Amino acid sequence: MPSIKLNRFKGQAPKVASELLENGFAQEALNVKLSSGDLVPYRQPVVVDNTVRIVNVKTVHALKNPSTDALVWLSWVTDVDIVTASDTSDDEQRFYYTGDGVPKVSNYSLATDGSEPYPSTSGYYELGLDVPTATTVATATSFSVVSATHYERDSGNTATFYGGTHNLRTGNVVTIRDFVSSDEAKSFNATNVTVTVINATDFQYYNPGDTVSKTANTTGRADMAGSTQVRTYLYTWVTPWDEESINSPVSNEVFVKEGQTITVSSLPSAKPSGDNFVRGIRLYRNLTSAATTDYFLLKTLWFLTSSVSFTRASNVSTVVLAYPHNMIVGDRFKIKSSTIDSGGFNVTGGTVVSVVNKTSFTYADIGSDVGVTGDTDGVLCHDVAENSTDTARYWGDSNHNFTDDFAASGLSTILPSENYDKPNSAMKGIINYHKNMLIGFFDNQLCISFSNKPHAWPEKYRITLDSNIVAISVNGGYILALTEENPYNISGNSPASLSIVRIDANYPCLSKRSVQNIGSQGIMWATHGGLATWIGGGGVGIATTKLHDWDTWGDYLDPTTIIGHYYNDKYFGSHSLGSFTFELNNEEGGTFVEINYLFTAAYTEPLSGVMYYTADTSGDILEWDNKNQILAPLEWKSKTITIPGYMNAGAARVIADYTTTDAETLNITNYNNSVAVSNAAVW
């Protein structure tokens, strides 16, 4: 007796005529998982949270509450791209994003400050720093020649100059002159010697000769030596995240000898206007060699920081500050203007005992125990002395001038930020490339940040393509730039060394939101005729070519509206007419299944591997295919089956293995009751 047997179920292949489909392929496949060959329905989605928005959400992203590990949802009504490019092991959860106005950076505390929906309207800083515009003023202090009172030389050829207050620092170069009363005295004269300071009136220098005991002499003089130098200064903005701006204009020139003291004034004492995290400046001075002139870091000068609260227990005080303190154990500081405990928390010459977190530290402070007490009047001043052994200097304590008497030998950090341009305000599509470089684009311009410098986007290294860029992605160490015409393959290890190759395949990207990196299978995007695919460094093809052609693809859906998501090795796509999943299989062409649940944005939580999505203006966030939910209705329609002759099917056998909940049993009963009515209408 002839029979029809269906024992391996596959997806749809709309390009193939229904009677010519290979065995197992379907004319219709709805809401089914087919990886096992059986018909397994997806579970009905379940609402798990809400974005507190009443319009269609186009982007969702989850952070984790540091205290509870619960997911906290961020959402946008625009197409936003989000990357992390920093160490977030301290639960800061910093992230960078584009598509919501100018490029931005935020973290958990910023984004969730206030009430939902998140991110809060002020919960970000603009990505990148503006160029400082103010010019510093440098004023040289004349050096007063020091008169001697005595001289001395030990057996190790170390001479000691005794005199008046000299204002020298160890490492300064001086000339010793005018010891003329005797040959012995003349032997103490020296040109361009480096001094070691003993105290405010005495210093030593190398001076070969016989041992001489301390001898009175008032004719000797000590004066600054060396060649006269042209000295200039500049500064940069700096944030507690170690972001640094391009430098300010160069100061006026002053002509000095090495070691001469210079006062640098007209320095900023507060952050520039705008949404930025600037909390200080870095001051640089020039050093000129035969080959070049470079600017070297003198000191990072942090702005005054207000307190939030103080605590004291067992003679150890804890201060909580409004902004990060940027200090480590052993750093020196001053706290002034605190009003609680009769000003008992104020301290000059304080030393950090322990760092509690970025905004709090402890210090030794003798006094009675005081519980946590709010105080916004206290002010933290940072020490800006050259060395920890020098007398502390607290920038901003009395003024914001800086005294530069630093030795050139101690300067080692060259200004790094000459090309730290702020990203273009229209930049979008931000992604993370290897070596922690970020990539973005606007118009036909590809933009690249410096490695580990997410805020620095050098304009001179932008790449211009022939067509406007629609989307970018990364796979296998290569960047793929998808345009309105051809794709481009880009690679390299720094913004200065990227190479670019146009791929000669007319597969334009029709929907930016369709682009998905699907791991070892490359990058997929919606184009004419199907889903295009590209594996890093390789060629481009149509992944769906065995299932769709140009006609069926355009009739089946609108590729310009596809929103893509990668989940469980499947490409999930939602568009204006419906949804689908596609799993690439090179031998059979892949598995294509319709899904009757639309989504406007989707997110897969990395640790749990759970997919969430939004679908409408309710603001609901739904979890996809939760195993505790009831089964969704499925539909699978075989190919048109032809047999040699007529056959009157007398029986059907279904082999199934499943359990059902009470709710699912009720659904099945209701469906079965509707079958007879439906069949009668058809027949």
620-623, strands of its sheet edge to edge: 46-50, 620-623, 610-614, 601-605
15 three-class SS? coil
- The identity of residue 168, as a single letter, is L
pLDDT score, position 601: 98
Residue 87 has pLDDT above 70, yes or no: no
Query: For 404-441, how does the pLDDT look when each residue is reduced to its tens digit (9 = 90+)?
Result: 999 888 899 999 999 999 999 999 999 999 889 999 99
With pLDDT > 90 as the criterion, what percentage of the chain qualifies? 82
Look over the chain and give the mean of its residue pLDDT values, rounded to a whole number. 93
Radius of gyration of the chain (CA): 36
Task: Using CA atoms of 50, 56, 62, 67 in order, give the dihedral in degrees to the nearest 10.
Answer: -30
How many Å apart are CA 502 and CA 482, to the nearest integer?
A: 10
What gap in Å lies between CA 290 and CA 534, rounded to an integer?
Answer: 52
Residue 86 has pLDDT above 70, yes or no: no
Decide if pLDDT at 664 tops 80. no
CA-to-CA dists, residue 167 to 71, 129, 172, 311, angstroms:
60, 39, 10, 40
pLDDT in tens, 43-62: 999 999 999 999 999 999 99
Report the 3 state secondary structure along 555-567.
HHCCHHHCEEEEE
More confident residue, 414 or 476: 414
Residue range 137-165: mean pLDDT, rounded: 96
CA dihedral 485, 491, 495, 497 (to 10 degrees): -110
In angstroms, rounded to a whole number, what is the distance separating the alpha carbons of residues 78 and 63?
Answer: 19
Percentage of the residues of the chain whose pLDDT score is greater than 70: 99
Mean pLDDT of 176-189: 95
Query: What is the reported pLDDT for 112?
Result: 96
The DSSP line for 302-323 is EPPEEEEEEEEETTEEEEEESS
Dmax (CA) for the chain in angstroms is: 136
Q: What per-residue confidence (pLDDT) applies to 658?
A: 77
CA distances from 397 to 283, 304, 337, 381, 402 (A): 18, 8, 11, 6, 11
Helix, strand, coil fractions of the chain, as percent rounded to 5 = 10, 40, 50
Q: Which helix (H) or strand (E) holds 265?
A: strand 262-265
Name the E strands within 154-201: 158-163, 173-177, 190-194, 196-197
C-alpha to C-alpha distance for 234 and 287, rounded to whole angstroms: 12
Tokens of 406: 């630093």
**Span 232-273, pLDDT tens digits:** 999 999 999 999 999 999 999 999 988 899 999 999 999 999
pLDDT tens, 456-467? 999 999 999 999
Q: Where residue 291 falls among pLDDT bands split at 50, 70, 90?
A: confident
- The residues that bridge with 525 in the sheet, in sequence order, are 532
Question: In what helix (H) or strand (E) does residue 126 lie, and over which residues does it extend?
Answer: strand 125-126
Using DSSP's 3-state secondary structure scheme, residue 382 falls into strand
pLDDT category, 538, cuts 50, 70, 90? Answer: confident
Q: Does pLDDT of 1 surpass 70?
A: no
Please determine, for residue 164, whether its predicted confidence score (pLDDT) is greater than 80: yes
pTM: 0.90
Report whether pLDDT(472) > 90: yes
Mean pLDDT computed over 118-130: 96
pLDDT of residue 2: 67
Q: Is 353 helix (H, G, I), strand (E, B) or coil?
A: strand
Position 676 scores a pLDDT of 84
Cα dist. 568→35, 215, 605, 608 in Å?
A: 11, 89, 12, 12
Which two three-digit tokens encode residue 483?
């345009």
Is the pLDDT at 230 greater than 90, yes or no? Answer: yes
pLDDT reading at 345 higher than 80: yes
Residue 482 φ/ψ, nearest 5 degrees: -100, 130
